Structure 1
Amino acid sequence: MLSSLSIRDVVLIEALDLDFESGLGALTGETGAGKSILLDSLGLALGKRAESGLVRQGATQSVVTATFEVPATHPAMAVLAENGFEAEAGEPLMIRRIVKADGGSRASINDQPASAGLLREIGAMLVEIHGQHDDRGLLNPKGHRDLLDMFGRVDSRPLGAAYRRWRAAEETLATARAELETAERDREWLEHAVGELTKFGAEPGEEETLAEERGAMQKGARLADDLAAVNDHLDGSQGAIANLRQASRRLDRLAPEHPMLADALAAMDRAVIEASEAEDHLNAALGDMAFDPNRLELVETRLFELRALARKHRTTPDALAELTVELEARFARMEAGGAGIAALEAETLAARTAYADAAATLSAMRELAAARLDAAVAGELAPLKLDAARFRTVVEPLAEGSWGPAGRDRVEFEISTNPGAPFAPLVKIASGGELSRFILALKVALAEEGGAGTMIFDEIDRGVGGAVASAIGERLGRLSRKAQLLVVTHSPQVAARADRHWLIAKRHDGIVTRTGVSALDAGERREEIARMLSGAEVTEEARAQAARLLER
């Protein structure tokens, strides 16, 4: 629901702040008073194209702020969340649009920058504007199927799931067919590649293992002679360790003769131990770096073949094992391709049949809903002086290529304005006044299913009066029990039905012309309706008639 509208420096409006409530509100005033400026200002906040000509002469920019009370469950809140906007539950939603005199504009939602596109998307969910030049909402055939589904309480969500299953099955089948076709085309290559890779039997991490083993053996070959010489110096009957042990045994007999000899013996024993440890380490290193020329050749050959195979298949050596499994699976699918394709074809056919059956059920429900909607709209036409017109909801099948998650039906509202005249789309054959009344008839018929929280009707009563104007007022009153309604009207019968009444007037102080809007109290309201009844000179008779209208 629109709760307030603040306008600054838009054409003839210098500063205007309006508060709104639920129910039916009427906006009246003499022709040229500026009612269109008010709607243009609201349109700016709802994402309408910004034009610098809207900026009041002498001002640098126009600013329009529209505030809405929106429940947390409203679809607009979900759209805002998807676009990263923070909107606290229970807090008002504030939309602001600024248009500069030198061109350009900017917008915000709850003080966060927003695009005009997002404003249009959110605005369409919050406010419906219906008038003689309406090009949205009920006039757009793209939305007619959704409106019919809401009216008939037709739930297309299960059909959407069936549609996705069908399309997924088709995708899987198409992929399998393409893969089989490619595999058959590459059968010879695939068979050779699988045989080659399987025979080689590459393992993950094998390259690193082989490279380390080859490096160790190559190092061992390079150091073999020096290590053997070192080992000869340490080991054997004439080696350093044997000589140390022999010297230690002889010194052991002499050590008691002098303290320094005992110290020498202790040092020699330590030397024997250290030399033995050095011998152990040397032997371990010799074992690790021992190399067999035949083994080295095998390792190098395996490593070169591994790397060459990886280059051939444009992958890494470590990925060869995974590639082998993948190509083996492709080859197996190719071998069993015929049976697999047949199974997928059966699954796809079953999924299509399930979708088609569900879509047929949905179409039947739409046909029934269309008949009920046609009857409901027909009941509203005569009181609106459209008794010669006929309305129908067309539900016709689409070609299979156009089937979708919402079904296989095209839905469009059509009218015939005169007996014998062909049916045609609403927007193509209705005159301005007729179009507004058709929209009202439709909105009344669809009212139980709701729509935007705020609806604005711009001069829906143009060209009618008396009983027809009263019928329009009565229907607007009914609609206002379901949603907030604002109506720009020249009809006293419609204005008298309103819960609140604003007067739009143009004032001139001798220098500047300004448009203002004022809320009317009971007395002022009676005077305005009397003016609408009698014209420039308000008579007592007009005042009395205005009072009678307000008593309804």
Structure 2
Amino acid sequence: MLVELSIKNFAIIDELIVSLNKGLTVLTGETGAGKSIIIDAIGLLVGGRGSTEFIRYGANRAEIEGLFSIEQDHPVIEKAKSLGIDVEEGMIIVRRDLTTHGKSICRLNGKLVTLGIIREIGQTLVDIHGQHEHQALLQQDRHIAFLDSFAKDALKSTKSEYQLLFKKFNNVKNQLEQMNKNEQELAHRTDLIQYQLNEIEKAKLRPHEDEDLLEEKLKLANNEKLYKALHASYNSLYGEGKGLDWIHNALSHAEEAVEIDPKLKKLVETVSSCYYLLEEASFSLSHQFEHLEFDPNRLEMIETRLNEISFLKKKYGTTVDEILEYAAKVEDELDTLVNKEDRIQSLQNELDALRLDLEVEANALSAIRKDKALQLSDLVHQQLQALYMEKTKFTVEMNKIPNGRFTEDGVDTAEFYISPNPGEPLKPLSKVASGGEISRIMLAMKTIFSTGQGVTSLIFDEVDTGVSGRVAQAIAEKIYQIASKSQVLCITHLPQVAAMADQHLYISKQQIEERTKTNVRQLTTEEKVHEVARMISGVEVTELTKEHANELLILADQIKTNT
């Protein structure tokens, strides 16, 4: 259940914190006070479409946060674990912020998540039923979705298999249509592919060739520098008039000097050692550059080849491997185009085989739907009896989509038919149902669906439109019946529904410094009598309307006790 709701800077709501209880919570108040805005905020919290228009004028962002209490076997637990989110004591905090830049920031127990995840989780937490669903009930093309929602467990496996086949079928069908395109267009495509393939094949590329050439180029470029440095060093030492020649002269003169002064012997030995060390070093330098691999012609060849590859990269890929992959791809396409007739026949055969498989799965879907349509009709009849429509006949008419056409959901159409009065033929719901009848039929379906949906909270936004009297009382009792199995939040204008509330919240607005602000407060018993009386009278609350309100509340308590 939704335990607490916090709203800040949303529409005309400045800041609001609402604590909610189990059972039936009713929201009432004057038109325009902000009742539906609170429901809009909850819808946005659980993944509804956002808009900067929701942000209160003058604010930078709107903030909505909800604390949900869930059972240990709720699907949210498993989803949260898969996201690495801890769920302690069965509590989930969902938060969504809307910024003036149009960004939507979502958090689940404090961890940032995507809007898609919030929407997926939200579907299991809250089910909002408003006037738009009334309109959906009047749209025949939406009836198949209502039926599938009722039969989702029975349909799940078969529908999954069908949709997998349908995806393959569409893929092959699109390929076949592509093959049957304009002949001239295909001829131009064939010529282009042939030219591209010839250009790539002429280059005779090898896998990773560009990488290998760059590595070799770097090595060769460094070898040239090394060769020049070693050669210059050797030339500086060895040769007539070079370093070693001068040091040899120095050694000769030093040896003459030591004959004159024996004390210079150690100095002469030092000069001698240096000479022979440098002579040995010059021989090593010569050996190094003579055995160094350096081929200026090879470097030039590499540069030319890399330029050729670079030209191809501009057209077919960023690496040699990508160019080769592109060549393989267009080669397959060329083969398909050249052998077009064979390929068309192959695709046609594949399409025919998939069509047969689709028909089998589609027929299986139809059989399940027909069976579930009968069950749904029976259950709707049972629910309508309690809503004073016991003589109304309701049925789900199943038909095939014309021209043997397949859709993502199968080959079926569904349409709800009713006969509100005995002796009248069944007619499409959209043609004969009044607003009050639509409200009751939708409530009947919601009662049926809520049993199997397992959502945490159900929200009814003015589902009692167009009803009054004993029908209003029946609707009130039906909503309370649903609330006994799941938390229900209900915006209503019916005193009968308000009287059944376990928690009654009054929504009002006030003007402070030329700004409108929405307030919510829980009514006391006495205040509840006054509010129900206001809903009865519509204008002025009198002692008589208070008595009627009190009677209505006493009757509601009796019904709740016996439920």
> Are the aligned partners of 2:388 and 2:474 in contact in 1 as well (CA < 8 Å)?
no
Give the distance between the partners of 2:161 and 2:285, measured in 1 at CA: 77
Match of 1:279 in 2: 283
Give the distance between the partners of 1:228 and 1:67, measured in 2 at CA: 85
Residue 151 of structure 1 and its aligned partner are, at CA, apart by 1.8
Match of 1:205 in 2: 212
Partner letter of residue 455 of structure 1?
Answer: I
Deviation sequence 1:43-77 (CA, Å, 0-9, x none): 3534699999xx9xxxx9xx998855353887899
Give the distance between the partners of 1:164 and 1:395, measured in 2 at CA: 24
Deviation sequence 1:151-182 (CA, Å, 0-9, x none): 22221344444444555666788899999977
Give the distance between the partners of 2:222 and 2:355, measured in 1 at CA: 63
> Are the aligned partners of 1:34 and 1:515 in contact in 2 as well (CA < 8 Å)?
no
> Are the aligned partners of 1:47 and 1:118 in contact in 2 as well (CA < 8 Å)?
no
Match of 2:327 in 1: 327
Match of 2:558 in 1: 551
Q: 1:180 to 1:490 in 2, by over 3 A?
A: closer
> Are the aligned partners of 2:529 and 2:546 in contact in 1 as well (CA < 8 Å)?
no
Match of 1:45 in 2: 41
Q: 1:67 to 1:540 in 2, by over 3 A?
A: same
Residue 271 of structure 1 and its aligned partner are, at CA, apart by 1.0
TM-score (normalised: structure 1): 0.64
| Deviates further, 184-193 or 88-97 | 88-97
2:384 is equivalent to residue 381 of structure 1: yes
Alignment of 1:341-380 (within 5 A): 350=353, 353-380=356-383
Alignment of 1:135-146 (within 5 A): 144-146=143-145
Q: 1:300 to 1:85 in 2, by over 3 A?
A: closer
Q: 1:503 to 1:251 in 2, by over 3 A?
A: closer
User: Across the two proteins, how many residue pairs are aligned to each other?
Assistant: 515
Match of 1:511 in 2: none
Match of 2:47 in 1: none
Residue number among 440, 447, 455 corresponding to 1:437 in the alignment:
440
Residue number among 192, 203, 207 corresponding to 1:186 in the alignment:
192
Match of 1:150 in 2: 149
Alignment of 1:106-185 (within 5 A): 126-130=126-130, 144-152=143-151, 153=153, 154-155=155-156, 156-166=159-169, 184-185=190-191
Give the distance between the partners of 1:120 and 1:312, measured in 2 at CA: 49
Give the distance between the partners of 2:519 and 2:494, measured in 1 at CA: 18
Corresponding residue SS for 2:484? coil
Match of 2:462 in 1: 458
Q: 1:17 to 1:241 in 2, by over 3 A?
A: closer
Match of 2:23 in 1: 23
> Are the aligned partners of 1:25 and 1:499 in contact in 2 as well (CA < 8 Å)?
yes
Residue 461 of structure 1 and its aligned partner are, at CA, apart by 7.9
Corresponding residue SS for 1:393? strand
> Are the aligned partners of 1:169 and 1:347 in contact in 2 as well (CA < 8 Å)?
yes
Q: 1:230 to 1:356 in 2, by over 3 A?
A: farther
2:449 is equivalent to residue 446 of structure 1: yes
Partner letter of residue 502 of structure 2?
Answer: R
2:317 is equivalent to residue 310 of structure 1: no
Corresponding residue SS for 1:313? helix
Q: 1:411 to 1:283 in 2, by over 3 A?
A: same
Give the distance between the partners of 1:416 and 1:81, measured in 2 at CA: 50
Residue number among 196, 205, 209 corresponding to 2:202 in the alignment:
196
Match of 2:513 in 1: none
Alignment of 1:355-504 (within 5 A): 355-387=358-390, 389-398=392-401, 403-404=407-408, 406-417=409-420, 420=424, 423-426=427-430, 429-450=432-453, 453-456=457-460, 458=462, 460=464, 463-466=467-470, 468-469=471-472, 471-486=474-489, 488=492, 490=494, 498=500, 500=502, 502=504
Give the distance between the partners of 1:14 and 1:285, measured in 2 at CA: 84
Give the distance between the partners of 1:526 and 1:262, measured in 2 at CA: 124
Partner letter of residue 198 of structure 1?
Answer: K
Deviation sequence 1:220-252 (CA, Å, 0-9, x none): 7999999779754399xxx9499789969x969
Q: 1:366 to 1:14 in 2, by over 3 A?
A: same
Partner letter of residue 469 of structure 2?
Answer: G
Deviation sequence 1:489-539 (CA, Å, 0-9, x none): 6465x666x3636496999xxxxxx9996645599869979x969985379
Residue 437 of structure 1 and its aligned partner are, at CA, apart by 1.7
| Deviates further, 330-339 or 276-285 | 330-339
Give the distance between the partners of 2:486 and 2:134, measured in 1 at CA: 21
Residue 275 of structure 1 and its aligned partner are, at CA, apart by 1.4
Residue 268 of structure 1 and its aligned partner are, at CA, apart by 1.8
Give the distance between the partners of 1:104 and 1:287, measured in 2 at CA: 68
Partner letter of residue 272 of structure 2?
Answer: M
Match of 2:514 in 1: none
Give the distance between the partners of 2:143 and 2:552, measured in 1 at CA: 41
RMSD between aligned alpha carbons? 6.6
Q: 1:410 to 1:233 in 2, by over 3 A?
A: farther
Q: 1:78 to 1:137 in 2, by over 3 A?
A: farther
> Are the aligned partners of 1:394 and 1:413 in contact in 2 as well (CA < 8 Å)?
yes
Give the distance between the partners of 1:214 and 1:13, measured in 2 at CA: 72
Long gaps (5+) in structure 1:
508-513
Deviation sequence 1:96-119 (CA, Å, 0-9, x none): 999xxxx99999988999999999
Alignment of 1:237-316 (within 5 A): 240=245, 258-261=262-265, 263-265=267-269, 267-288=271-292, 296=296, 299=298, 302-303=301-302, 305-310=304-309, 312-315=311-314
> Are the aligned partners of 2:16 and 2:519 in contact in 1 as well (CA < 8 Å)?
no
Give the distance between the partners of 1:279 and 1:51, measured in 2 at CA: 82
Deviation sequence 1:254-310 (CA, Å, 0-9, x none): 9899353464245324412321321331343245387xxxx755x366346424533
Corresponding residue SS for 2:240? helix
Corresponding residue SS for 1:391? strand
Give the distance between the partners of 2:520 and 2:286, measured in 1 at CA: 105
Residue 205 of structure 1 and its aligned partner are, at CA, apart by 2.7
Long gaps (5+) in structure 2:
45-49, 510-517
Partner letter of residue 327 of structure 1?
Answer: A
Give the distance between the partners of 1:203 and 1:396, measured in 2 at CA: 63
TM-score (normalised: structure 2): 0.63
- Between structure 1 and structure 2, the one with the greater Rg is 1
> Are the aligned partners of 1:391 and 1:415 in contact in 2 as well (CA < 8 Å)?
yes
Q: 1:331 to 1:283 in 2, by over 3 A?
A: same
